[in-house]
Structure 1
């Protein structure tokens, strides 16, 4: 199991090599952007993009936010986007484009910690996949935690949701298949919830709802709220957010998270 093809990207970087890679997602050829350290890989970050089509697409600058010189970062485009075959199903078969990429990277780097980061639309993309993968943790950042909440708050997206998923009442089964909370257990990998209090694209009630459900389940999680920030934090706040995410990954890797969690209960 490996990537089928690698195309070197014209990105100048002292510590990383950028490739657009192609791999199999079921019977389709799908693509993603791979940022590989020139030195030894000590951490892997999977960035799950938000948006659809060209809105929120994977960019080199976004991947570079999560890296140091020993961190590999990969961002799947999802099927139907940026040269990938197939059709984006919005939390349907496109979930396989996440799981297959992680399985490939885990086989190449079997002893390296893998952290998933789901931003905006990618939040639910990750929640629906992280439990059954060889990952150390999941970070949901400004992320959708429930597709029904998305339908309720984003009136401007209802037409798209009706086309791609259906109506919540008429197509209840399709919405239930996208219910991530029901799949999370007490033993699921730990979750960091990051959200801005003034987020208008994905309201902070998505974060509150997720935290409430994780409490009921007994899952391990931590929250990082910036109440004065929107969907994307302002530069000074963004620096704090990235530091919090990297500290979280370090705590998970050093196995101090559960001790901190139990002390704070």
Structure 2
């Protein structure tokens, strides 16, 4: 009887170990596979962003599943252990893709990737920059707000960065990436994170006008915040990247006036993270229609398609406004972007090159749209020093 009980416990342990190994491996696999496989739905694209930016943890889970499967196999578990080993090993390989594909990019830009930083803020957090909220315009009864992040160190005539949020031109809000705002302020920049009108659509003119209005407001109030009005950069993500480029490239475009009194809306530099640049090309070449209806988004934003709203598509495409006076431009884009294909950045980079505009274009082969959401992820670790060098070269110095 005693031996029977021992045998039963051994079977239970073997079965439990095999099942636990299978659960670990399957979970890691089902999450990490979206790092390399195009998502069939918007929700799974969100999973892909998280999996790509926190892939190290999935690799650890996959390795744990594979290790447990070996132990289960040694105890006599066959089927579940073999499946768990295969899934765990595959998950580990998928999870390694972001790091292995970022390392060459980091080396090319003299950036040292940090495991300590990746592990979740073991390094010092950005200083607690003081912030305040102000109304920079009231347009058609709608108050437009901005958040101001001031450096902790006092100085006169500091450079400024105006941040434009994303959200398909119909969603999102100011300060949706607060860690980046605080970090920029910690580097000595006064940061203004702004709103713009999201409705009613089409809002391509009004959204651009509000960005230009914010530039004018910052210049009028430069003395109050210790800003040098001649050292301002725009930075935008996704739809905000598009608006930042468009506003920076068209300071004197009569078809795109500011929504408030702003005689001077010129800036000294612009940064676009995964923003669309050629809207006609984007309409006919959506990145992943299963994730987002790109053509539908553009129709709502511009009031039609490239045939019925040709003028809007032409005026609202930043690529059409590149010339010798275009400000220095930094483009950062993910190679696996499923909302805005990296071809946008490639096309704009080619146009900037032709016009002899100072610019830098960086592609992260593994990265999804929104790769900088993880402030300590591999893509962000490269982005921070590259962005800082660019801003210091074109805005911080006189």
Q: Distance in 2 between matches of 1:107 and 1:17?
A: 21
- SS of 2:206's equivalent? coil
Question: Which residue number in structure 2 is paired with residue 117 of structure 1?
Answer: 235
**Structure 1 residues 55 and 108 mapped into 2: Cα distance closer, same or farther (>3 Å)?**
closer
Is 1:33 the counterpart of 2:147? The answer is: yes
Once the two structures are TM-superposed, the CA of residue 193 in structure 1 deviates from its matched residue by 1.4
**Structure 1 residues 253 and 177 mapped into 2: Cα distance closer, same or farther (>3 Å)?**
closer
- SS of 2:297's equivalent? helix
Assess if the C-alpha contact under 8 Å between 1:50 and 1:121 holds in 2. Answer: yes
Once the two structures are TM-superposed, the CA of residue 111 in structure 1 deviates from its matched residue by 2.5
> Alignment length, in residue pairs?
239
**Comparing 57-66 with 135-144, which one deviates more in the overlay?**
57-66
Once the two structures are TM-superposed, the CA of residue 157 in structure 1 deviates from its matched residue by 3.0
**Structure 1 residues 65 and 55 mapped into 2: Cα distance closer, same or farther (>3 Å)?**
same
Match among 43, 48, 51 for residue 164 of structure 2: 48
- SS of 1:129's equivalent? helix
Once the two structures are TM-superposed, the CA of residue 14 in structure 1 deviates from its matched residue by 5.4
Once the two structures are TM-superposed, the CA of residue 51 in structure 1 deviates from its matched residue by 0.9
Is 1:158 the counterpart of 2:295? The answer is: yes
Once the two structures are TM-superposed, the CA of residue 247 in structure 1 deviates from its matched residue by 0.9
Assess if the C-alpha contact under 8 Å between 1:106 and 1:134 holds in 2. Answer: no
Match among 213, 222, 245 for residue 351 of structure 2: 213
Unaligned runs of 5+ in 2: 1-125, 252-264
Q: Which has the larger radius of gyration?
A: 2
Is 1:239 the counterpart of 2:381? The answer is: yes
Assess if the C-alpha contact under 8 Å between 1:191 and 1:220 holds in 2. Answer: yes
Assess if the C-alpha contact under 8 Å between 1:88 and 1:94 holds in 2. Answer: no
Assess if the C-alpha contact under 8 Å between 2:137 and 2:144 holds in 1. Answer: yes
Q: Distance in 2 between matches of 1:129 and 1:64?
A: 24
**Structure 1 residues 56 and 29 mapped into 2: Cα distance closer, same or farther (>3 Å)?**
closer
**Structure 1 residues 237 and 164 mapped into 2: Cα distance closer, same or farther (>3 Å)?**
closer
Q: Which has the higher contact order (CA 8 A, sep 6+)?
A: 2
Q: Distance in 1 between matches of 2:200 and 2:175?
A: 17
Question: Which residue number in structure 2 is paired with residue 16 of structure 1?
Answer: 129
Q: Distance in 2 between matches of 1:123 and 1:36?
A: 23
**Cα distance per residue 1:162-193 (max 9 Å; x no partner):** 23321111221221221222322112211111
**Cα distance per residue 1:224-261 (max 9 Å; x no partner):** 222222221461321211111011111224669xxxxx
**Structure 1 residues 74 and 87 mapped into 2: Cα distance closer, same or farther (>3 Å)?**
farther
Is 1:98 the counterpart of 2:211? The answer is: yes
Question: Which residue number in structure 2 is paired with residue 9 of structure 1?
Answer: none
Assess if the C-alpha contact under 8 Å between 1:190 and 1:221 holds in 2. Answer: yes
Is 1:251 the counterpart of 2:393? The answer is: yes
Is 1:189 the counterpart of 2:331? The answer is: no
Assess if the C-alpha contact under 8 Å between 2:162 and 2:232 holds in 1. Answer: yes
Once the two structures are TM-superposed, the CA of residue 70 in structure 1 deviates from its matched residue by 2.8
Unaligned runs of 5+ in 1: 1-12, 81-85, 257-265
Assess if the C-alpha contact under 8 Å between 1:16 and 1:36 holds in 2. Answer: yes
Q: Distance in 2 between matches of 1:65 and 1:98?
A: 22
**Comparing 50-59 with 118-127, which one deviates more in the overlay?**
50-59
Question: Which residue number in structure 2 is paired with residue 6 of structure 1?
Answer: none
Question: Which residue number in structure 1 is paired with residue 182 of structure 2?
Answer: 64
Once the two structures are TM-superposed, the CA of residue 20 in structure 1 deviates from its matched residue by 2.5
Relative to its length, the structure with more helix (as a share) is: 2
**Comparing 25-34 with 121-130, which one deviates more in the overlay?**
25-34
- SS of 1:66's equivalent? helix
Question: Which residue number in structure 2 is paired with residue 136 of structure 1?
Answer: 268
**Structure 1 residues 237 and 127 mapped into 2: Cα distance closer, same or farther (>3 Å)?**
closer
